[in-house]
Structure formats: C-alpha cells, structure tokens
C-alpha cells in the first residue's frame, strides 16, 4: 500500500479541496473540465456568430468585449484569439482533463483493485498545478493585445514576433506558461497512472484481465509522457525567441513594422517538427481513453463480451507505436523534403489498419447481443459512429497527394471535430452518465439524458459533416470572413445553417449541466451496481469510501467480460466471482 490512510477526522480542506483521494481528485478534474467546456463552447458560439454574419454589429457583445468587439463589430484579431483559445481549451483543458484527469483518476485504482494511486500526494499536486494553468489561460484574455491568436498550433514567426499580431504580445507568453503548467500537471498524473497500473494491480488481476479502459488509459498516459517533453523543449525555445532575442525559429531578414529584425539562423520548420512530434501522439492520448470507454460500455449494454479483446490490445500497442512516427502528415506542404512526405504517408496509412480493427471489434460486439438503449449506450454508439466516419475521412488527409488540396481547409476542421469532438466528447458524456452513480451514489435522469442525446448527436453530425464538403469546395480555415473571394460565395449559405444548428447544439448542453447538477441533489439513489456490470469498481459501494475496499482488497478470478455466461445465475459475473461459482470462459 502506497501511503497511510488519512483519518476521517480531516477537515473540509483536506477532504474536499487538497484531498489526496483519487476519487475526489478525479471529480475535481471533471468539474474543472466542465467549466472549461462551457467557456470553450461559448467561444465557439462567438466564432459561429461571426462566420454566419460577418461584420455584423452586436452591441451587447461590444459591451462585454470592449477591445475585441469595439463598436459591437468583431475584430479579426479577436476572432483569431477565439479560434486559438477554443482549440487550446478544448484539446487540453477539456478533453484531456475529463478523460485522463477525470475518468483516469477515478477509475484506475478502482478497476485495478487498489486503495488509491501509487503516489496520492503527487496526484493532488498534479491537480493543483493545473488550476493556476487554467486561470492563466483564461486570464490571457484580459492582458494587452488579448489572448494568443496564432492558432493552437502557435506556429512561429507569427507566434514568436510580438508585433506580428496583437495576441502575440503578452497573450502568447501566458499561453506558453499555462501550457507548461499543464504539461507538468499531466506528467505528474501520467507517472501515477502508469505506475499504478503496472504495480498496484490486486491479486489475480493480470494484464490480460484488465478492462480495455485500463489498457487505453495506460497507453494514453505512456504516450503522453513520452510525447510532451519535446513540446516543452520547443516551448522553452519559443519563449527565448520571444523575449530573449534568440533565433531558434526565426531566420534572417524578417521584416516587420518597417524594420528588419536582427535574428538569424533559425527556421520555422523546427517548431513544426517538435510541435507535431507531440501533436500527433496527443490526439491519440485523447482518443484512446475514449475508445476504452466505448469498449467498456458496449459489452455492459449488449450483455456479452467485447469482441476481439486480445486483438484490441495488440491494436492499441500498434497505434501507440505508429502514432509516434507519423507526425509529418501535418506538414506535407510545409516545405519539408518531399521524401519525408512519402515516408509519413506510408506510416499514416498503416495506422488506419489497427484503428479499423478496433472499429470492427466495436461493431462486432453488438452482434448477437441483447442491446439496451440507455443513455450511456446511446452516447457510446454515437462515439462509435463518429470514430468510423471521422476515421475514414482521415484517409483523405493522410494521403500526401490529396492533402495538398485539403491541407488547412475545412475538411481538416470537420475531420478533427469528428474525432476530438465526436468520439471523445460523446465518450465523455457516455462515461459521465455511466459512472455518475458510482461517483455520487445517485442516478442521472434517463429522460433528460436521452433528450440531451437526441439534440446532440444529429446536430453535431450535421455541422461537421457539412464542413467536410466545404473543405472539398476549397474553403480555407482560420478565415475571419469568407466574403472576399468569389470561389467561396456559394458557401456562405451553409455557414448560416451551421451556425443555427450550432446554437441548438450548444443550448442542448444545458440539459446535461442541469441533469448533472440536479441529479447530484435529487437524483434517485443508486445501489453499488445499477447497470449489472462486472468490472471491479462496481463491487465497491456507490460512492466508494476512502480506501475503496474496506478491510480486504478484492481478489480477481476472471476477465471483465463474463456477461451471459451459460448456466450462471445472473447475466453478469463480477471479476471477483470464483471459478466454483461460475465457470471461467476466457
């Protein structure tokens, strides 16, 4: 056991604020991610407002943002800050936070049968390092020049030269500092996750008896631990270029504001290589836990084992490894050597194979099942569908030749929203509805949940599907308005439809928030295992006490998918059930 249990006499601060209990920390992460999601969503609404009605006057918004929307009209630099911060917040401070910080923290010790993480104090530090990161990110809107505006990808020279765009004054520096805090927080968390999964599994919990969720969290954490450091190095170099006169990313002869800058020797391509070395594995860090949640929920609501457990694990290994050698597919037209382009295209196409195996395994899990369409199941199915469509769309982009046309177009925006918004967000919702009873001892409202689903799934699909076609029509991304080009004229009408649908989508999320908060206070009381699931967390009370397991750690005798075992008394057999009670089938 890693650390002495705290007594129940700890004060409010120790128990709920600076808690070292992984369950509290997980919920803290989840709540923060929900708050940041509201901010990120509002940024998206503002973006959509501008794109549907470019140059329109919004007087009340002008009062809210006196700088960025002076006179009620959105300035291009403000628009670019919105785009930059929407991406940054959603990727790091919402999805990563919810899936890894929230579900990772809550589930890992419970699903491996441990009392807590390996190093609970470090876990607490990880959350409290993140909080200042969030505050600094949000605070960057208030500094002179506004928030960073060079895209979440922060390509220099735009992000390195302070006069290149207003957001590159202090906003970009604060962005770098906040990202550094995020990376430190992630590293502390990731160290805990990997160590706990390797070292603290309870008796009988061999690696091949772990739920797929644990495998995905393991690989996502390991991938993140290995992929973030080069970004840290790049961020340091960017900071030095911005404030200390170095030229890591800046060549000679740059001309800004009527003068030639004194830098020499650097190249913007170095940033791109270092950034995408993290950037590509990062998207797998986000999607792997989401896939794990889907593969966790499908068997429960099909009442049968997941299809292809072994092959799924092998595919996860392949994806994790391959994801580290394909970063160049973000740089096909960057000016790097075309031979590199060929190499990266071949690797990127290879990664479609294990991804397709996982997708097939998800679909095959449904075959022959007894499907129950609860809210978690509906959202898990939505994630499955988005994984398919979005994943297939990625083939267009992974192919170097077709990417020449589609690079930096709305096809990319549609694709990554399917993956990061579709798969990960739907999976996060599925996870919330599914594990809410375990976290809080109450059930969320199925009625509100289904309404939330039916208002979210079709609208999300419509918005980002349309963007794929707009990309095929040639529409570039990060444009403040599309009214300067004739070839984009016909696409103005879809912009309006997308915005209107986006309003519905955003409003629908209120249903989730109302459901979440309302159920906390007045939801139906939940037993330890309301869904009839087999994984270890459902053997603990809802919510589990400090230390999770009482006097005795659980002992595992079977894999987590013994649903509908022939001859068993119930249609699910928990992992702790011995072989004498129900035969072991796998």
Partner 1 sequence: MQTSNAPTKQSQREGRVLAVVVWLIGMAIVGIGSRRWLPPLASEHGAGIDSMLNYLMITVGALVLSGHLVVGWFLWRFGRGQPVSFRLASWRIERRWSLVPVVLLAVVAEGGVLALGLPVWAKIYGEPPAGSLTVEVTGEQFAWNVRYAGADGKFGRTLPKRITLDNPLGLDSSDPASADDIIALNEIRVPVNRPVRIRLRSKDVLHSFYLPYLRVKQDAVPGMNIELWFVPTRTGTFELACAELCGLGHYEMRGLLFVLLEEQFQHWLKEQKNG
Partner 2 sequence: MSQAHIVGPMAPAWGGGVSPFRIGWNKLMMWIFIIGDALLFAGFLAGYGFLRLASGSWPDRSQVFELSFIALMTFTLITSSATMATAVGASQRGERKLVLVFLGLTILGGLAFLAMQAYEWSGLIRAGASLASNPWGVPLFGATFFMITGFHGTHVLVGVLILAITAARFQTGRGRPEGVELAGLYWHFVDLVWVFIFTLFYLV
Q: Which of residues 234-253 bind partner 2 (CB under 8 A)?
A: 234, 236-237, 240, 244-248
Q: Stretches 352-360, 369-377, 419-427, 551-559: which one binds partner 2 (CB under 8 A)?
A: 551-559
Largest CA distance in the chain: 83
Of partner 2, partner 1, none, which one does residue 237 interact with (CB within 5 to 8 Å by kind)?
Answer: partner 2
- Element holding 255 (H helix, E strand): strand 255-256
Site for partner 1, residues 93 to 122, rule: CB under 8 A: none
Residue from 396, 520, 541, 547 in contact with partner 1 (CB under 8 A): 396
Of partner 1, partner 2, none, which one does residue 442 interact with (CB within 5 to 8 Å by kind)?
Answer: none
- Element holding 256 (H helix, E strand): strand 255-256
Site for partner 2, residues 487 to 546, rule: CB under 8 A: none
Residue 480 binds partner 1 (CB under 8 A): yes
Q: Stretches 23-31, 102-110, 515-523, 525-533: which one binds partner 1 (CB under 8 A)?
A: 525-533
Site for partner 1, residues 356 to 375, rule: CB under 8 A: 356-357, 359-361, 363-364, 366-374
If you search the block for the tokens 């013994």, which residue do you land on? 562
User: HEC profile for 391-443?
Assistant: HHHHHHHHCHHHHHHHCCEHHHHHHHHHHHHHHHHHHHHHHHHHHHHHHHCEC
Instruction: Write each residue from 313 to 352 as x if it is in contact with partner 1 (CB under 8 A), else as -, in one continuous string.
Output: --------------------xxx--x--xx--xx--xx-x
Of partner 1, partner 2, none, which one does residue 311 interact with (CB within 5 to 8 Å by kind)?
Answer: partner 1
User: Residue 117 CB: number of other CB atoms within 10 A?
Assistant: 31
CB of 317 to partner 2, least distance (A): 16
- What is the rounded distance in angstroms from the CA atom of residue 327 to the CA atom of residue 347? 10
CB of 121 to partner 2, least distance (A): 12
In angstroms, how far is the first alpha carbon of the chain from the final one? 29
Peptide bond just before 237 cis, omega within 30 deg: no
Q: Stretches 26-34, 152-160, 172-180, 194-202: which one binds partner 1 (CB under 8 A)?
A: 152-160
Of partner 2, partner 1, none, which one does residue 205 interact with (CB within 5 to 8 Å by kind)?
Answer: partner 2
Nearest to 159 by CA among 273, 259, 235, 89: 235
Sign of the alpha-carbon dihedral angle for 538, 542, 548, 551 = negative
Contact between 431 and 371 (Cβ < 8 Å):
no
Determine the Cα angle at 333 with ends 76 and 245, to 5°: 60
CB of 288 to partner 2, least distance (A): 18
Bridge partners, residue 260, by sequence: 255
Q: What is the DSSP string of 51-116?
A: HHSTT-B-HHHHHH-TTTTGGGBPPHHHHHHHHHHHHHIIIIIIIIIIIIIIIIHHHHHHHHT-SS
3 state DSSP class of 259: strand
Residue 300 binds partner 2 (CB under 8 A): no
Residue placing its CB nearer to partner 1 in the complex, 490 or 514: 490
CB of 542 to partner 2, least distance (A): 24
- What is the rounded distance in angstroms from the CA atom of residue 66 to the CA atom of residue 527? 51
Residue from 124, 384, 455, 511 in contact with partner 1 (CB under 8 A): 384
CB of 439 to partner 1, least distance (A): 16
Residue from 132, 476, 518, 541 in contact with partner 1 (CB under 8 A): 476
**What's the chain's length in residues?**
586
Residue placing its CB nearer to partner 2 in the complex, 70 or 208: 208
Residue 283 binds partner 2 (CB under 8 A): no
Contact between 214 and 289 (Cβ < 8 Å):
no
Instruction: Write each residue from 116 to 155 as x if it is in contact with partner 2 (CB under 8 A), else as -, in one continuous string.
Output: --xx------------------------------------
Rg (CA), the chain: 24
Residue 550 binds partner 2 (CB under 8 A): no
Residue 10 binds partner 2 (CB under 8 A): no
Peptide bond just before 543 cis, omega within 30 deg: yes
Q: Is 325 exposed, middle or buried (0-12, 13-18, 19+ CB in 10 A)?
A: middle
Site for partner 1, residues 253 to 292, rule: CB under 8 A: 253-256, 260, 266-269
Nearest to 157 by CA among 263, 250, 273, 276: 250
Residue from 164, 516, 557, 574 in contact with partner 2 (CB under 8 A): 557
User: Looking at residue 261, what DSSP letter applies?
Assistant: -
User: Interface with partner 2 by CB under 8 A: which residues?
Assistant: 2, 112-113, 118-119, 187, 191-192, 194-196, 198-209, 225-226, 228-234, 236-237, 240, 244-248, 262-267, 270, 273-274, 277, 555-558, 578-579, 584, 586
């Amino acid at each position: 056991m890693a650390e002495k249990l705290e007594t129940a006499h700890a004060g409010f601060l120790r128990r709920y604020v600076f808690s070292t209990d992984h369950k509290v920390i997980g919920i803290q992460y989840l709540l923060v991610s929900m708050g940041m999601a509201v901010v990120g969503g509002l940024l998206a609404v503002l973006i959509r407002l501008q794109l549907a009605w470019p140059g329109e006057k919004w007087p009340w918004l002008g009062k809210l943002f006196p700088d960025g929307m002076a006179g009620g009209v959105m300035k291009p630099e403000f628009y670019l800050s919105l785009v930059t911060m929407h991406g940054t917040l959603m990727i790091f401070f919402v999805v990563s936070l919810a899936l890894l910080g929230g579900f990772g923290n809550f589930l890992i010790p419970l699903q491996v049968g441990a009392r807590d993480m390996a190093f609970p104090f470090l876990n607490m530090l990880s959350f409290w390092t993140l909080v200042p990161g969030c505050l600094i990110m949000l605070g960057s809107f208030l500094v002179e020049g506004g928030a960073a505006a060079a895209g979440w990808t922060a390509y220099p020279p735009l992000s390195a030269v302070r006069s290149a765009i207003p957001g590159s004054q202090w906003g970009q520096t604060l962005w770098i500092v906040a990202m550094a805090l995020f990376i430190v927080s992630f590293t502390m968390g990731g160290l805990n996750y990997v160590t706990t999964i390797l070292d603290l599994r309870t008796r009988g919990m061999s690696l091949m008896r772990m739920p797929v969720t644990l495998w995905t969290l393991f690989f996502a954490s390991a991938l993140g631990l290995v992929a973030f450091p080069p970004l840290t190095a790049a961020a340091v170099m960017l900071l030095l270029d911005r404030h200390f006169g170095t030229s890591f990313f800046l060549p000679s002869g740059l001309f800004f504001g009527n003068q030639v800058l004194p830098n020499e020797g650097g190249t913007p391509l170095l940033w791109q290589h270092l950034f995408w070395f993290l950037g590509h594995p990062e998207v797998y860090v986000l999607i792997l836990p989401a896939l794990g949640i889907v593969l966790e929920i499908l068997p429960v609501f099909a009442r049968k084992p997941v299809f292809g457990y072994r092959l799924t694990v092998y595919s996860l290994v392949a994806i994790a490894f391959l994801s580290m050698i394909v970063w160049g597919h973000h740089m096909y037209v960057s000016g790097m050597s075309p031979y590199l382009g060929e190499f990266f295209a071949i690797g990127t196409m290879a990664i479609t194979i294990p991804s397709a195996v996982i997708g097939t395994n998800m679909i095959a899990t449904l075959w022959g099942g007894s499907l129950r369409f609860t809210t978690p199941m509906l959202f898990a199915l939505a994630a499955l569908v988005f994984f398919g469509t979005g994943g297939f769309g990625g083939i267009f982009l992974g192919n170097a030749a077709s990417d020449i046309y589609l690079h930096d177009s709305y096809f990319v925006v549609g694709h990554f929203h399917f993956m990061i918004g579709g798969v990960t967000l739907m999976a996060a919702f599925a996870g919330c509805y599914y594990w809410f009873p375990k976290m809080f001892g109450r059930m969320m409202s199925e009625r509100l949940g289904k309404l939330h689903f039916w208002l979210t799934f079709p609208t999300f699909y419509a918005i980002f599907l349309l963007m794929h076609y707009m990309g095929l029509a040639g529409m570039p991304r990060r444009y403040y308005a599309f009214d300067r080009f004739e070839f984009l004229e016909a696409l103005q009408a879809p912009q309006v439809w997308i915005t209107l649908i986006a309003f519905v989508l955003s409003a629908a999320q209120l249903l989730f928030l109302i459901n979440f908060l309302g159920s906390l206070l007045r939801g139906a009381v939940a037993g330890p295992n309301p869904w009839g699931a087999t994984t270890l967390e459902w053997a603990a009370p809802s919510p589990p006490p400090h230390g999770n397991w009482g006097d005795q750690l659980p002992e595992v005798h079977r894999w987590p998918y013994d649903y509908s075992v022939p001859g068993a008394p119930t249609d699910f057999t928990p992992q702790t059930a011995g072989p004498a009670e129900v035969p072991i089938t796998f």
